[in-house]
């Protein structure tokens, strides 16, 4: 994949998408600010949330063993998956053993991360997304662009068109004369999905949290689709990242306060589903839990980088990020966009590709992401840490244009005579720019820097020149 700046070009040129994103992110962030202001001990909660996650990460092996024991004792079957291939194979085998060719899914970022839908499709199994936004993305043959609202880049009339054109091909069609009113769109989705819920024998879910001492998995959602997936099918397969574990219900309490306020700007999310293994005659009779590593233990090995594993996927950092708001989620080339994607993706995937090397630079380092993060992840610090790592990986070999420019600047700043000469040259060159106040696009290699920036034109006079002109001498 190309670098982030090239990937962002489409988003920047898409005025409609930028308008949709700006409207949606600003609405959610102001709702969030209002409900967060209501909580007098919000900072304490953030500190507690970070402390619980750090405690889990410091003893992750112990908590995972405890979780496995609790899950097994409650009737669930635990599977361990080192990577995406292993996780996909486990799920595929479980589904094929049930001799079905379709399943329903409740939103799960872990399954998007491992591209489970594609892996199932290869063997003829259709995985139907049931979250409304995920359904829009799936029907539109699109990719998610936000953690919480994957179809945030679409507006109502685009969604109506997708429903009209695509629903009929894979199930109950959209009603005739479907409008772009939210209630009509929701009703069309409900009718389309209900048929799938009632038919499905297998469901796949993720989990927001996994409580180690009881083996309870927790999903928070807004539409009730999760509850349908988690109760109606006979077999439930949950794919859960190993960092989702929390020690006890008391710890869960902290996140139940932090997550809804940070994500949807609500005091409480509409649906919280919790399940602990199997119960005879009630809900799925076969429950499988796939505990997924897929790069998480390498993230854990980095003492600075591991704080990214505290993330509870609330998406608050996306909603305040000026870079995300303009570039859009697709530019990050990963299921995790925005500030958290810029730090998590290169750690999970490594920095071998041009895209993953560029992600730590996809930020203005303004710090707004840290201010809103409910688990106090120092995203700017981590971005700088990863940038250092990327630079270190490229030491030696042919120097980059940026490296040469920095070395030249260092040579120039090291001697005041050179510096003054450079200043004089720059003021003379500014006269060539006429009335222009910005440099505009520079020739290669400087174009790679100037292509995305409005650098101000150099002043026509330096401070020293001004001083001599107005005071007649260089000395006081
Ligand atoms: S990094 Fe923090 S703000 Fe961003 S999604 Fe994760 S928990 Fe939320």
In the numeric block, which tokens belong to residue 158? 């685009």
What is the distance in A from the centroid of ligand 1 to the CA of 374? 7
What average pLDDT does this structure show over 251-271?
96
Q: Which of 354, 407, 360 is nearest to 382 (CA)?
A: 360
Per-residue pLDDT tens over the stretch 202-251: 999 999 999 999 999 999 999 999 999 999 999 999 999 999 999 999 99
Q: Which residue has the tokens 């399954």?
A: 111
What is the distance in A from the centroid of ligand 1 to the CA of 61? 23
Residue 371 pLDDT exceeds 70: yes
Q: Report the share of the chain in percent with pLDDT over 70.
A: 99
Cβ count near 28 (within 10 Å)? 23
What is the distance in A from the centroid of ligand 1 to the CA of 263? 9
In the numeric block, which tokens belong to residue 234? 């006979």
Question: What's the start-to-end Cα distance of the chain, in Å?
Answer: 58
Q: CA dihedral in degrees (150, 153, 156, 158; nearest 10)?
A: -110
Angle between helices 416-432 and 463-471 (to 10 degrees): 90
**pLDDT band at residue 266 using 50, 70 and 90 as cut-offs:** very high
Q: Which residues are paired to 282 by β-bridges? A: 279
Q: Which of 355, 330, 390 is nearest to 2 (CA)?
A: 355
Ligand 1 probe mutation, 259, 335, 377, most atoms within 8 A of CB: 377
What is the DSSP annotation of 18-46?
HHHHHHHHHHHHHHHHHHHHT-TTHHHHH
Residues 212-239 as b or e (16 or more Cβ within 10 Å = b): bbbbbbbbbbbbebbbbbbebbebbbbb
Average per-residue pLDDT for the chain = 93
What is the distance in A from the centroid of ligand 1 to the CA of 134? 20
273 φ, ψ (degrees, to nearest 5): -110, 135
Residue nearest to atom 4 of ligand 1 (CA): 317
The conformation of residue 205, written as its DSSP 8-state character, comes to: E
What average pLDDT does this structure show over 461-474?
84
**pLDDT band at residue 333 using 50, 70 and 90 as cut-offs:** very high
Per-residue pLDDT tens over the stretch 125-138: 999 999 999 999 99
What is the distance in A from the centroid of ligand 1 to the CA of 316? 6
Per-residue pLDDT tens over the stretch 381-397: 999 999 999 988 888 77
What average pLDDT does this structure show over 399-425?
87
What is the distance in A from the centroid of ligand 1 to the CA of 315? 5
Q: Which of 154, 158, 160 is nearest to 180 (CA)?
A: 160
What average pLDDT does this structure show over 342-350?
97
What is the distance in A from the centroid of ligand 1 to the CA of 131? 21
What average pLDDT does this structure show over 267-284?
95
- For ligand 1, which residues put their CB under 6 angstroms from it? 262, 311-317, 340, 372-375, 377
293 φ, ψ (degrees, to nearest 5): -90, -70
What is the distance in A from the centroid of ligand 1 to the CA of 147? 10
Distance between CA atoms of 306 and 218, rounded to whole angstroms? 23
pLDDT recorded at residue 476 = 57
Nearest atom in ligand 1 to the alpha carbon of residue 313 is 5
Nearest atom in ligand 1 to the alpha carbon of residue 340 is 1
Residue 369 or 400, more confident: 369
Distance between CA atoms of 235 and 232, rounded to whole angstroms? 9
What average pLDDT does this structure show over 131-157?
92
Going by their DSSP bridges, the two strands 216-221 and 209-211 should be labelled as: antiparallel
Residue 460 pLDDT exceeds 60: yes
Name, in order, each residue with C-beta under 8 angstroms of 62's C-beta and a sequence gap of 6 or more.
Answer: none
Q: Would you call 304 exposed, middle or buried from its count of C-beta atoms within 10 A (0-12, 13-18, 19+)?
A: middle
Nearest atom in ligand 1 to the alpha carbon of residue 372 is 3
Residue 89 or 144, more confident: 89
Per-residue pLDDT tens over the stretch 24-73: 999 999 999 999 999 999 999 999 999 999 999 999 999 999 999 999 99
In the numeric block, which tokens belong to residue 73? 């004792």
What average pLDDT does this structure show over 359-374?
97
Residue 313 pLDDT exceeds 80: yes
In the numeric block, which tokens belong to residue 174? 């959209």
Distance between CA atoms of 289 and 294, rounded to whole angstroms? 15
pLDDT recorded at residue 465 = 85
Nearest atom in ligand 1 to the alpha carbon of residue 310 is 7
pTM comes to 0.89
Q: Would you call 44 exposed, middle or buried from its count of C-beta atoms within 10 A (0-12, 13-18, 19+)?
A: exposed
Residue nearest to atom 7 of ligand 1 (CA): 311
Residue 475 pLDDT exceeds 70: no
pLDDT recorded at residue 448 = 73
Nearest atom in ligand 1 to the alpha carbon of residue 318 is 4
Residue 474 pLDDT exceeds 60: no
Nearest atom in ligand 1 to the alpha carbon of residue 344 is 1
pLDDT recorded at residue 428 = 83
Q: Which of 225, 181, 162 is nearest to 153 (CA)?
A: 162
Per-residue pLDDT tens over the stretch 414-430: 999 999 888 888 888 87
Ligand 1 probe mutation, 312, 344, 368, most atoms within 8 A of CB: 312
Residue nearest to atom 2 of ligand 1 (CA): 373
**pLDDT band at residue 195 using 50, 70 and 90 as cut-offs:** very high
Residue nearest to atom 8 of ligand 1 (CA): 314
Q: Which of 315, 377, 278 is nearest to 107 (CA)?
A: 315
What is the distance in A from the centroid of ligand 1 to the CA of 364? 17
Distance between CA atoms of 108 and 290, rounded to whole angstroms? 12
Residue 344 pLDDT exceeds 60: yes
pLDDT recorded at residue 200 = 96
Q: Which of 156, 117, 120 is nearest to 136 (CA)?
A: 156
Q: Report the share of the chain in percent with pLDDT over 90.
A: 80
What is the distance in A from the centroid of ligand 1 to the CA of 142? 24
Nearest atom in ligand 1 to the alpha carbon of residue 312 is 7
What is the distance in A from the centroid of ligand 1 to the CA of 373? 5
Residue nearest to atom 3 of ligand 1 (CA): 373
Q: Which of 266, 263, 271 is nearest to 225 (CA)?
A: 271
Residue 5 pLDDT exceeds 80: yes
């Amino acid at each position: 994949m190309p670098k982030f700046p090239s990937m962002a070009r489409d988003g920047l040129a898409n005025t409609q998408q930028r308008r949709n994103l700006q409207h949606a992110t600003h609405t959610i962030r102001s709702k969030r600010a209002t409900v967060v202001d209501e909580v007098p001990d919000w900072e304490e909660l953030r500190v507690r949330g970070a402390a619980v996650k750090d405690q889990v990460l410091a003893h992750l092996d112990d908590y995972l063993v405890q979780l496995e024991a609790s899950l097994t004792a409650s009737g669930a079957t635990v599977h361990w998956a080192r990577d995406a291939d292993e996780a996909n194979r486990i799920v595929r085998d479980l589904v094929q053993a049930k001799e079905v060719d379709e399943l329903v899914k409740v939103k799960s970022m872990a399954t998007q991360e491992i591209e489970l839908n594609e892996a199932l499709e290869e063997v003829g199994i259709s995985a139907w997304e049931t979250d409304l936004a995920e359904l829009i993305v799936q029907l539109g043959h699109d990719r998610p662009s936000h953690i919480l609202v994957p179809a945030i880049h679409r507006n109502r009339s685009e969604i109506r068109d997708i429903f009209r054109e695509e629903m009929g091909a894979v199930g109950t069609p959209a009603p005739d004369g479907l409008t772009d009113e939210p209630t009509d769109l929701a009703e069309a989705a409900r009718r389309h999905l209900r048929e799938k819920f009632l038919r499905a024998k297998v469901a796949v879910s993720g989990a927001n949290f996994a409580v180690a001492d009881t083996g309870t998995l927790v999903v928070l959602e807004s539409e009730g689709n999760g509850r349908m997936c988690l109760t109606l099918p006979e077999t439930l397969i949950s794919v859960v990242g190993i960092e989702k574990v929390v020690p006890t219900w008391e710890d869960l309490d902290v996140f139940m306060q932090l997550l809804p306020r940070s994500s949807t700007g609500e005091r409480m999310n509409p649906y919280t589903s919790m399940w602990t293994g199997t119960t005879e005659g009630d809900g799925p009779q076969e429950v499988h839990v796939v505990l997924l590593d897929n790069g998480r233990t390498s993230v854990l090995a980095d003492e600075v980088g591991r704080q990214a594993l505290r993330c509870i996927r609330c998406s608050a950092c996306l909603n305040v990020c000026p870079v995300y708001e303009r570039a859009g989620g697709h530019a990050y080339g990963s299921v995790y966009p925005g500030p958290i994607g810029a730090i998590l993706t290169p750690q999970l995937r490594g920095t071998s590709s041009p895209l993953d090397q560029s992600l730590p630079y996809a930020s203005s380092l303004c710090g707004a992401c840290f201010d809103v993060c409910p688990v106090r992840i120092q995203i700017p610090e981590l971005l700088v840490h990863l940038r250092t790592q990327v630079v270190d990986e490229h030491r030696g070999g042919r120097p980059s244009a940026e490296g040469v420019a920095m070395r030249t600047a260092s040579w120039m700043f090291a001697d005041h005579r050179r510096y003054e000469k450079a200043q004089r040259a720059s003021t003379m060159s500014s006269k060539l720019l006429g009335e222009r106040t910005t440099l505009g696009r520079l020739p290669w290699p400087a174009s790679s820097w100037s292509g995305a920036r409005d650098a101000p034109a150099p002043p026509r006079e330096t401070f020293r020149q001004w001083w001599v002109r107005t005071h007649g001498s260089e000395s006081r």
